Amino acid sequence: MEEVCLNSEPFFDESDDADVEGSSVAEHGLESLNSQPKNPPVPTVGLEFDSFEEVYNFYNIHAKEQGFGIRVSNSWFRSKKKERYRAKLSCSSAGFKKKSEANNPRPETRTGCPAMIVIRMVESRRWRIVEVVLQHNHQVSPQSKQFYKSHKKMILEASKSQPPPEPVTEVHTIKLYRTTVMDVDYNGYSNSDESRDTNFDKFKCLELREGDASAIYNYFCRMKLTDPNFFYLFDIDDDGHLKNVFWADSRSRIAHNYFNDTVTIDTTCLANKYEIPLISFVGVNHHGHSILLGCGFLGHESVDYFVWIFKAWLKCMLGRPPHVVITDQCKTLQIAVAQVFPHARHCYSLQYIMQRVPEKLGGLQGYEAIRRQMYNAVYHSLKIVEFESSWTDMIKCHGLGDNKWIQTLYKDRHLWVPVYLKDVFFVGLISTKENEGLTAFFDGYVHKHTSFKEFLDKYDLALHRKHLKEAMADLETRKESFEFKTRCNFEAQLSKVYTEEIFKKFQTEVEGMYSCFNTRQVNVNGSIITYIVKERVEVEGNEKGVKSFEVLYETTKLDIRCICSLLNYKGYLCRHALNVLNYNGVEEIPSRYILRRWTRDFKQTFNQLHASSNINTYHPVHLYTHLFNSALPVLEVGAQSQEHYMVAVKELQELLDKFDIEDNNSM
């Protein structure tokens, strides 16, 4: 166990050393504090202590701060050893006194107060809080002058521990405990900064308000108890100041196992100067929905800080980097991505850039004309030469040659303009037309003044709703068939394969085949035929125009590629390619153009392909992942009907009961 105190003050004494890059397990013992911290932790399920006396003192100090006393209301002992292994510490107003037969019985002072904690000795012979009730049924106040027996005991014990010449009125001993961080090679650690700054800069650490530290600490303790595969990591400087935080729950780690091909690193909160410096790692699941792959708080926007949090994420995900990384346009991010993900294709988010157009260019004369020309160059160029020509015309027409932002955009064009990124697999994480927005994962849950504490309160709600959305999408996908909009064989073929959300998007392309016309050969080079497909497209408002798309078709292997590159941008064939296949009498789409990641049984087939008999039984992450994958078919079948559900719940409960029996036998 690692002991760590989360607050804006130094975490460790100056004599303590924190490991660099987690080269070994860091065990930092906090010395007893001679004064009460500003933000003492509230009792939380999962906190562990070295002894019964220590947890009693912890609860007693909390009680004194809140204005109530405590007592040991119940204890459980092993019959043979007479060793206490469980106890209940209650508010001194818990229960009621026994009725007295005396002539003048004392008045009842107890209220049957429910406030209490239950503690239990665990395998390591440490004491863990397993149950907590914080609410009282009577008034308590930190300003209360009432003095309780338990408080007197605390002062007496403190005075005994001090040398006689030093008069001591009160000593508070507080220890905060953090459960271990599960990792690829280590049981738990805490990182410090490699650069070792000699002078502390308050602007290079997390600025926590009152209550934020306790909120972060309590949330991680609770999550680690309820989710053993929960991963979190702190970045701490030499003086013990908290610089960065990273965490990911088991769902995010499992999701990364399936959907680690393309990842967006969302730094919107940093770019917009939100109160919380939130950074999110976001992917796309088989329904096309955004999924969270990890979160962090960044203390400073510098290369070193980004590198630390990227490495923390990579460690959490067992060292498996994504193929494509999408970030905001930022030189610092570009350097950090190149260091940590050297083999990944790094792109700038087109959406983030286009959202800044009103801010950067809105004050210029002729803004609307500039915006139209810019959007036309970015979204409608099918060839690089078309983009270069349109961009040059825009600059000349509006005198933008000296505009620094425009210069930067052009210099970085190969990182964000779609026409330069036709070989990049985006899984829908790129907008291919104006007003095609991608909603941020925490949109609606975070605003400019959201505090750390408020965010953590909303974090679980956001994840719950996202998980519910995925579960509902899975249920909808189990329908035997979807509503058809055409008589095309392609639509019938993929209705049996794709998830509902992806099928609907593909349906749009099948319907779009009917807006295509005049498909004709323009060149033949051996088995490769070049076609031109014309399509009626919307030009300005409701006006229609005609646009030509070049499609290459290889007749022997049925390879096909369209100049619009929708397959790489979105992950399914475009209407132009479908038109050419249909023109050549091909009735079914070749299997290589049906991406497995969009199929309704993707997770099951993925598990079968990646199943391994060589499971590392000593590694909790591997155990969790293997158990989850093995249990997935139970979840799928169990949710298909009420009868299946009842059977699954009954069997799972019996399995949990067996675990409890096993735990009790091993005590």
Q: To the nearest whole percent, how much of the chain has pLDDT over 70?
A: 77
Tokens of 501: 């959300």
- The SS3 of residue 601 is coil
| Residue 424 identity | V
**Which has more confidence, 647 or 289?**
289
Each residue of 274-316: pLDDT tens digit? 999 999 999 999 999 999 999 999 999 999 999 999 999 999 9
Q: Cα separation of 607 and 254, whole Å? A: 11
b/e burial code for range 270-290 (CB count within 10 A of at least 16 → b):
beeebbbbbbbbbbbbbbbbb
pLDDT in the model for residue 181: 31
pLDDT in the model for residue 159: 43
Confidence band, pLDDT 50/70/90 cuts, at residue 242: confident
Q: What is the mean pLDDT of residues 219-231?
A: 86
Residues facing 630 on adjacent strands: none
- The SS3 of residue 278 is strand
Note if the pTM is more than 0.85.
no
Each residue of 89-141: pLDDT tens digit? 999 888 877 665 555 566 667 788 889 999 998 877 888 898 998 888 888 87
Q: Cα separation of 215 and 196, whole Å? A: 28
Closest CA to 382 of 163, 248, 537, 572: 537
pLDDT in the model for residue 292: 96
Confidence band, pLDDT 50/70/90 cuts, at residue 1: very low
Confidence band, pLDDT 50/70/90 cuts, at residue 480: low
Q: Evaluate whether 466 touches 442 at the Cβ level (below 8 Å).
A: no
With a cut of 70, say whether residue 371 has pLDDT above it: yes
Which of 2-6, 591-595, 624-628 shows the lowest mean pLDDT across its residues?
2-6
Q: Cα separation of 55 and 119, whole Å? A: 8
The length of the chain, given as a count of residues: 667
Q: Cα separation of 268 and 266, whole Å? A: 6
Bridge-based pairing of strands 278-284 and 345-348 is: unpaired
Q: Cα separation of 216 and 268, whole Å? A: 21
Sheet with strand 528-538: strands edge to edge: 516-525, 528-538, 544-554, 559-562
| Residue 655 identity | L
**Which has more confidence, 142 or 284?**
284
Q: What is the mean pLDDT of residues 600-606?
A: 81
- The SS3 of residue 468 is helix
| Residue 115 identity | A
Q: Evaluate whether 284 touches 317 at the Cβ level (below 8 Å).
A: no
Q: Cα separation of 302 and 285, whole Å? A: 31
Q: Evaluate whether 180 touches 188 at the Cβ level (below 8 Å).
A: yes
End-to-end CA distance of the chain: 20
Q: What is the mean pLDDT of residues 596-603?
A: 90
With a cut of 80, say whether residue 616 has pLDDT above it: no
Q: Cα separation of 528 and 492, whole Å? A: 28
With a cut of 90, say whether residue 353 has pLDDT above it: yes
pLDDT in the model for residue 614: 56
Q: Cα separation of 189 and 186, whole Å? A: 7
Q: To the nearest whole percent, how much of the chain has pLDDT over 90?
A: 46
Which of 222-231, 277-286, 306-315, 367-376 shows the lowest mean pLDDT across its residues?
222-231
- The SS3 of residue 638 is helix
Closest CA to 557 of 524, 590, 601, 598: 590
Q: How many CB atoms lie within 10 A of CB 261?
A: 16
DSSP code for 115: -
**Which has more confidence, 14 or 360?**
360
- Average pLDDT over all residues of the chain: 80
With a cut of 60, say whether residue 229 has pLDDT above it: yes
Give me the numbers of helices (H) and strands (E) for the chain, helices first please: 21, 19
Each residue of 574-584: pLDDT tens digit? 999 999 999 99
Q: How many CB atoms lie within 10 A of CB 611?
A: 11
